[in-house]
Amino acid sequence: MHALNMNILLEALLLVIALSIDAFVASFAYGTNKIKIPWKSAALITLICSFLLGMALFLGNSVSSFIPPWITKGLCFSALFLLGLLKLFDSTIKSWLKKSTYSTQAISFKFLDFQFFLKVCIDSTEADKDHSHILSPSEACSLAIALSLDGLAAGFSTGLLATHSLDILLLSLIVNGIAILLGCFLGNRFAQKTNYDISWLSGVLLIVLAFLKL
């Protein structure tokens, strides 16, 4: 029983850490660009990311009762493995999309403007639309939704097999909050911008998690 609980905790930690890396990288970028994330905005990002992850877990858990166990296991593995592969090449994909997106004419901000949303997905610092160097709550919402896309896919996949959704949510609140604060702190410590990217680590963790689900 103890070993089983440790395995459950390990899987929950791997999922949450993998999904929090994007928040860390985004916050680090804000720090190096001297863009402040007030505690209200940081809390909002954490709450939105965790809420959407929870919704995905709940949906996956609800659907799993209608699907044979061997199929849910295969779906969970496939989704996490493919998402992990995508995250391994995340920086390359974003670099290509960035060139394509910024070659188009810029348009004014709207909350549901797809082009703006795409820019935030590609470059998190674009969420600071007014260039005030302070991330407002409304701007934090846009960033949080962009950061939650991986969580929706991974959460649904994990929910197909997970019976510990509350533990995952609690860990998500804690780890996401730490990732944002630590990212901002370390980013501010760098006098110059750095191009070092660790988004691939999220991919590695998701692939490991996929094999743990077998």
Over residues 150-207, the pLDDT tens digits come to: 888 899 988 888 768 888 999 999 999 999 999 988 888 875 555 566 677 888 888 8
Contacts with 11 (C-beta within 8 Å, 6 or more apart), sequence order: 158, 162, 209, 212, 213
Residue 61 token pair: 């858990």
Higher pLDDT, 189 or 131: 189
Distance CA 78, CA 211 (A): 10
Q: Calculate Rg over the CA atoms of the chain.
A: 17
- At 28 the pLDDT is 87
Residue 38 token pair: 């007030």
Q: Each residue of 91-115: pLDDT tens digit? A: 666 666 556 655 444 433 444 444 5
Nearest partner of 182 among 23, 50, 12, 45, judged by Cα:
23
Average pLDDT, the chain: 79
Bridge partners of residue 36, in order along the sequence: 134
- pTM attached to this predicted model: 0.79
Contact 83, 154 (CB under 8 A): yes
CB neighbourhood size of 121 (10 A): 19
- At 204 the pLDDT is 84
